Structure 1
Amino acid sequence: MRDAQGGETLLFLTDEQLRQGIEAMFFAYRGFTSDPDRILATMAYGRAHHRAVHFIARSPGTTVNNLLSILGVTKQSLNRVLRTLVEDGLVDSQVGTSDKRERNLYLTDKGAALERKLSDAQRARMRAAFRSAGPEAVSGFRQVLEAMMDPDMRHRYHALREVAS
């Protein structure tokens, strides 16, 4: 068992330890998003475009309403992002088969290529971080992130993982 400073045996965390965790998440998020941000900037896209492309890739045929609930953005904001992605030939929006009012979203070949480029950069960063932290860190990191999710988002996260399996 490691020392209490590492966090393995702590049942109580001080405010300072929690602050350090919060700060670590802020800085890690900056690193995690920096590579895709550089790629997206060359196309005049932002993180909202990245998130939309990511979740459309993870769930081909997803509806606009499902994407709205996953991303937690306004319909107006998502429509702006989707309009750009459709006009630029990255996303194909098709009329729903069971409900003509629904729009099902798919990445085009061009969209899939962008998604691969973005996720390759993030996978490389995560792979290096996990390799550096050690194998036990992978499971622990996921457990911490899942514990921080709201129950509805945790459910969506697990559903997304099941679809990908």
Structure 2
Amino acid sequence: MAEQNSPPSGETLLFLTDEQLRKGIEAMFFAYRGFTADPDRILSELAYGRAHHRAVHFIHRSPGTTVNNLLSILGVTKQSLNRVLRSLVDDGLVESRVGTQDKRERHLHLTEAGRALETKLSQAQRTRMRAAYRAAGPDAVQGFRQVLEAMMDADMRRHYLKLKDAGHE
């Protein structure tokens, strides 16, 4: 007979109740608040928001990425991204370079100050994730990643796999 506190088997996870799913959704909401809390404090000192954080993160992950690629990854309007990029460029955190093959393209790179901000933001999140992963254990870490990957739509999964395949795991 299984212990009452033992984790559910894989088979029972296939038949989750609406209440179990609701609890999972709520856990994601609260975890996201925790995951973004530390960077939000850092960003607020600079009068930046999460859009700035996402832009800095993905420019760091793909130096030289184009504005159009960043638009595709972030899923925001061109107007919204332009506002974010304008402030990052004006504040000396991002450089926008004209493409060598296509002069209409703008390639984005973090400056030294941009890399320092990215490091500060990502370190705060790595610290939180590292502690959570250690507490949960290796099987839970792998399962969590599988759940997250399964929740991605096809286009986002392509972007994710492209970063993963580029050796940025």
In the superposition, the TM-score normalised over structure 2's length comes to 0.94
Give the conservation status (yes or no) of the 8 Å contact 1:58–1:164: no
Instruction: Determine helix, strand or coil for the equivalent of 2:39.
Output: helix
Matched, 1:121 2:115: no
Matched, 1:83 2:76: no
Question: What is the rounded CA distance, in whole Å, between the counterparts of 2:21 and 2:4 in structure 1?
Answer: 17
Question: What is the rounded CA distance, in whole Å, between the counterparts of 1:105 and 1:19 in structure 2?
Answer: 40
Instruction: Determine helix, strand or coil for the equivalent of 2:161.
Output: helix
Question: What is the rounded CA distance, in whole Å, between the counterparts of 1:90 and 1:99 in structure 2?
Answer: 24
Matched, 1:43 2:32: no
AA aligned to 1:74 is T
Q: Provide the aligned length of Structure 1 versus Structure 2.
A: 165
Structure 1 stretches of 5 or more lacking a match?
none
Structure 2 stretches of 5 or more lacking a match?
none
Identity among equivalent pairs (%):
74
Q: 1:137 to 1:98 in 2, by over 3 A?
A: same
> Could you list the per-position Cα deviations for residues 102-151 of structure 1 after superposition, in whole angstroms to 9, with x for gaps in the alignment?
00000000000000000000000000000001111111110000000001
Matching residue of 1:6? 7
Residue 164 of structure 1, CA deviation: 3.1
In the superposition, the TM-score normalised over structure 1's length comes to 0.96
Matching residue of 2:138? 135
Give the conservation status (yes or no) of the 8 Å contact 1:2–1:8: no
Residue 6 of structure 1, CA deviation: 3.4
AA aligned to 1:8 is S
Moved over 2 A (4+): 1-9
AA aligned to 2:94 is V
